[in-house]
Structure 1
Amino acid sequence: MNSKTLAFEETEYRARIARARARLAERGLDALLCFGQETHYYLTGYDGGGYVFFQCLVLTTEERPLTLLCRRPDVSQARDTSLVDEIHVWLNAEDADPAGQLRDILAGLGLTGGRIGIELETYGLTGKNHAAVQRAMDGFCTLTDASDVVSGLRLVKSETEVAYLRKASALADDAYDAALAVTRAGVIDAEVTAAIMTTTLRGGGDVSPAGPLVNSGSRAIYGRGVGGPRPLDAQDLLILEYAGTFRRYNCCIERSISIGGPTTPQRDLHALVRDTLEEMQEAFRPGAALGSVDEIHRARLDAAGHAEHRFAACGYSLGATYRPSWMDVPPMIYTGNPLELQPGMVFFPHVMVGDPETRLAMGLGNTVLVTPSGCEVLSRHGLDLPVR
């Protein structure tokens, strides 16, 4: 009985594997040690959480079996959700040596003395595990950083991936409606968080790879979420930043909500942030350099006196990711980034201003899809400053 539950048609995975192997061949590599769970999901469909331990997918340049080394709790999931051909298990013990087992797997694949790429830019490979791999491979093969081989392929989304992102965007929009409905003075901000997460899950989405940012009061200047509930004041500003998530694909939205009505400085700052984001969105055109988006961000905010209150980067790529982040990076959107925009790329540009002295803050952001003629904003919501 075939119990596989793949997120895409098998033909799409096979095409991805073929493109990855072609890239390895262009680099003169014999194989790639894939430690990123995002890579496992993209190439084979494997959807799991074992990446927090030692877990590696071996992709050979030649057509040899796709081989996964994982722990026992991950075996059934790997079998059911992926196209992995062979699964090897390492067992928890005081003398456990998964790096040594990985070397033996490579030897069995005929890769002794080979030139092998390794994914280093991933949460799936800790510094300690990387050191263990280096020791195990010393004298066996030549390791080289090839973190960009699959991540580069993942930048341009297929039509099916875009469909998942559209669903994720709809979930994010529905969650915003739910957040607006519960936002009012006296409510703890955790109620807003609950509305976002409940709406996403009831809509058929997944738990986001990171918790929603729901910051108010003096916390509104923070660029990350913070623990502990806070009641909303009669005169307050609430900033939301979160991802709608569907089949691991994330679509982000950032909005600001006024409780009790905005002050004049808040109203003026909102207009600046809104106009800046709208101009940034227009810069997403095929052939343009990604860094040009941040040039707009910097020029507008710096001219308005907010050079010290803005971020050094104004967004990032989005796709299918796992904890701890919905950010699918690199690339980040910063001045000087030469990445050429192509149709099918998806980014989250956002404008966040936070003054630690006055506690004046404002944030807005949208997910955009680069199209053949420009870009499409995926959210149905405008960039107004609603009052509750």
Structure 2
Amino acid sequence: MSKSDFTAEEFLFRHRQVRSRMADCGLDCIVAFHPVSIHWLTGSDGKSYQNFQCLVVLRDGPLIMLTREPERYEFEQDALCDRLETWGGVEPEDPLMAFASLVERERLAGLRVGMEVPAYYLHPHAYVRVKELLGKAIVDEPCNIISGLRSVKSPAELAYVRSAARVADAGMTVFADQLSAGRTELDLCGQVYRALLASGSELPASTMNLVSGHRSVYSHGAPTRKPLRHGDIGHIEYGAARCRYTATIGRQFSIGRATARQRQIFDVVRRAGDAMIATIRDGVPASHPHRTARKIISEAGLGQYQIHTSGYGLAAGFPPSWGESISMFGETEEPLRTGMVLTIEPPVFNGPEGIGVRLIDNVIVGATGAELLSTFSRDLIEA
């Protein structure tokens, strides 16, 4: 994503939304660390999240971006911020010293500050230093204002998601055509990635899961040199990305005809996913689709093997994740809202029987129902 991927008006609308929510919450400032928050507000598309960086959002002032000096030209040419400050360059520099100078110049320690605390992108040592520098000014931690706003996608964002879903379907068509005994998991992985890139996908934020045979009970298994053999079952999951907006897809496969038991478990998982999709609409608590799927899986005697989320929100992806904070798991009462993009993936990983089944689709939440994004068949793929 860059500042050219959306209109200036859309970026300004996002800025107004954040500042309005800050006023409602009595905040003067947000310090944003999540690269998706930074890119949502500025269009930044760089890999600068690998080092310390932050976006300071002042309710009654500028957007100030602090990043490392080697990223200067990318931010100047491809991102929207009112002021750019950098650290490092020709010689090493402690980025927290640069942040301390910013805190002092803008008198942030005297404001009411909200602080993002992302799962992957803020080193624990940096977190401790930031807390020390801001002290009692931090009154909202973790601050979820930006993540809550960005989880509902605009029409322009949804257009990128739908485009990514069409590319993901193209990749699955190639996978199904190429699937056969003797091919290795890595060989098939390469064929799918080639199809994705040829069809217009960017590099996805997370790597492919592709498991077969005894590995089918792995929830996040990377493809290996293992050849597919007659009688193997397995599942594949990957994402396609357009301007970092991601669509994911996952399908179950069998080399040869699946056994009766394998098909029985697949049918349970498919019914659970169908039931989730049928319950999704604006205002429904996020836990409700999960409980619906869990009831079906438990009634089939497989409840103890549903050991993974039933689904979650999809964001614009930055490695290692494309996930939003919302999760359809446990007792999450956060309401689903029109414009959210969700994965649907209630699985069964039955270790004792060596049968793992996962089927993944994406939907857009609507006022009265869900829009299924993939048109690729949800049937078991038998090669």
TM-score of the superposition, structure 1-length normalised?
0.94
183 and 312 in structure 1: CA distance in 2 versus 1, 3 angstrom threshold: closer
* Aligned equivalent of 1:174, options 170, 176, 190: 170
Q: 1:98 aligns with which of 95, 116, 119?
A: 95
The counterpart of 2:359, out of the listed 364, 370, 373, is 364
Q: Is the 8 A contact 2:209 2:220 kept in 1?
A: yes
Question: Once the two structures are superposed, what CA deviation does each residue of 1:13-33 show, in whole Å capped at 9, x if it has no partner?
Answer: 110011101111112111111
1:294 aligns with 2:290: yes
CA shift at 1:61, angstroms? 0.7
Aligned pair 1:119/2:131, yes or no? no
Secondary structure, in 3 states, of the residue corresponding to 1:199? helix
| Alignment match, 1:25 | 23
The one-character-per-residue Cα deviations of 1:92-129 (angstroms, maximum 9, x if unpaired) are 79983322322322332343411111110242211111
Match of residue 50 from structure 1: 48
Q: CA shift at 1:218, angstroms?
A: 1.0
Alpha-carbon distance in 2 for matches of 1:8, 1:336: 36
SS at match of 2:240: strand
What does the per-residue CA deviation read over 1:166-206, in whole Å, with 9 as the maximum and x for residues that have no partner?
00100110000011121100000112211221111111211
Question: Among residues 230, 234, 240, which one is paired with 1:234 in the alignment?
Answer: 230
Partner of 1:80: 77
Show structure 2 runs of 5+ residues with no match: none
Give the length in aligned residue pairs.
Answer: 382
| Range that drifts further, 114-123 or 207-216 | 114-123
Between the aligned partners of 1:46 and 1:22, the Cα distance in structure 2 is 22
Distance 1:385 1:379 in 2: 15
Is the CA contact (8 Å cut-off) linking 1:292 and 1:335 kept in structure 2?
no
Contact 1:54 1:98 in 2 (8 A): yes
SS of 1:381's equivalent? coil
SS in 2 for 1:226: coil
* Alignment equivalent of 1:309, drawn from 291, 305, 318: 305
Distance 1:198 1:376, change over 3 A: same
- Cα–Cα, structure 1 residues 108 and 207, in superposed 2: closer, same or farther, change >3 Å? same
How big is the shift at 1:236? 1.0
- Report deviation, 1:65: 2.2
What is the rounded CA distance, in whole Å, between the counterparts of 2:98 and 2:255 in structure 1? 58
The answer as to whether partners of 1:121 and 1:147 remain within 8 angstroms in 2 is: no
Distance 2:173 2:92 in 1: 53
2:377 matched residue in structure 1? 382
Letter in 1 for 2:79: S
2:16 & 2:298 partners in 1: Cα distance?
46
Q: 1:61 to 1:313 in 2, by over 3 A?
A: same
Q: Which amino acid aligns with 2:170?
A: D
- 1:276 counterpart (272, 277, 288): 272
Q: Deviations over 1:306-349 (max 9, x none)?
A: 12211252110012120001222x11101321111221111001
For the 8 Å contact 2:70–2:89, the answer to whether it is kept is no
Provide the secondary structure at the position in 1 that maps to 2:288.
helix
Which residue is equivalent to 2:209?
Answer: 213
Aligned CA distance change for structure 1 residues 111 and 186 (closer, same or farther; 3 Å) = same
Q: How has the CA–CA distance of structure 1 residues 95 and 270 changed in structure 2, closer, same or farther, with 3 Å as cutoff?
A: closer
The aligned residue for residue 344 of structure 1 is 339
Query: Secondary structure at 2:347's aligned position in 1?
Result: strand
For the pair 1:262 / 2:258, whether they are aligned, the reply is yes
Q: Deviations over 1:14-71 (max 9, x none)?
A: 1001110111111211111111100111011111111121001111011x22111111
Give the Cα–Cα distance (whole angstroms) in 1 for the partners of residues 252 and 109 of structure 2.
56
For 2:306, give the aligned amino acid.
R
Q: 1:137, 1:99 → 2: CA distance? A: 12
Unpaired segments ≥5 residues, structure 1: none
Q: Does 1:188 align with 2:184?
A: yes
2:208 counterpart of 1:222:
no
Deviations, residues 218-259 of structure 1 (Å, cap 9, x unaligned): 111111123632110122112011111111011111110111
Q: State the Cα RMSD in Å.
A: 1.7
Pairing 1:327–2:323 present: yes
Preserved contact between residue 246 and residue 315 of structure 2 (Cα < 8 Å): yes
Paired letter, 1:375? A
Check the 8 A contact 2:109/2:135 in 1, yes or no. Answer: no
Kindly state the Cα deviation for residue 364 of structure 1 after the two structures are TM-superposed: 0.7
- Following the alignment from structure 2 to structure 1, what is the Cα–Cα distance between the partners of residues 12 and 26? 21
Specify the SS of the correspondent of 2:131.
helix
Q: Corresponding residue for 1:250?
A: 246
Q: Which amino acid aligns with 1:277?
A: G
Cα deviation digits, residues 280-323 of structure 1 (max 9, x gap): 10010122111110111111111111122112521100121200
Instruction: Indicate how the Cα distance of structure 1 residues 92 and 224 shifts in structure 2: closer, same or farther if over 3 A, else same.
Output: farther
Secondary structure in 2 matching 1:340: coil
User: Percent identity, aligned pairs only?
Assistant: 28
Q: Distance in 2 between matches of 1:195 and 1:21?
A: 46
Quick check: which one's helix share is greater?
2
For 1:331, what is the secondary structure of its paired residue?
strand
C-alpha distance in 2, partners of 1:94/1:228?
Answer: 41
Following the alignment from structure 1 to structure 2, what is the Cα–Cα distance between the partners of residues 272 and 91?
Answer: 55
Verify the 8 A CA contact 2:6 2:156 in the aligned structure 1.
yes
SS of the equivalent of 1:341 reads coil
Tell me if structure 2 keeps the 8 A contact 1:90–1:98.
Answer: yes
Distance 1:382 1:142 in 2: 49
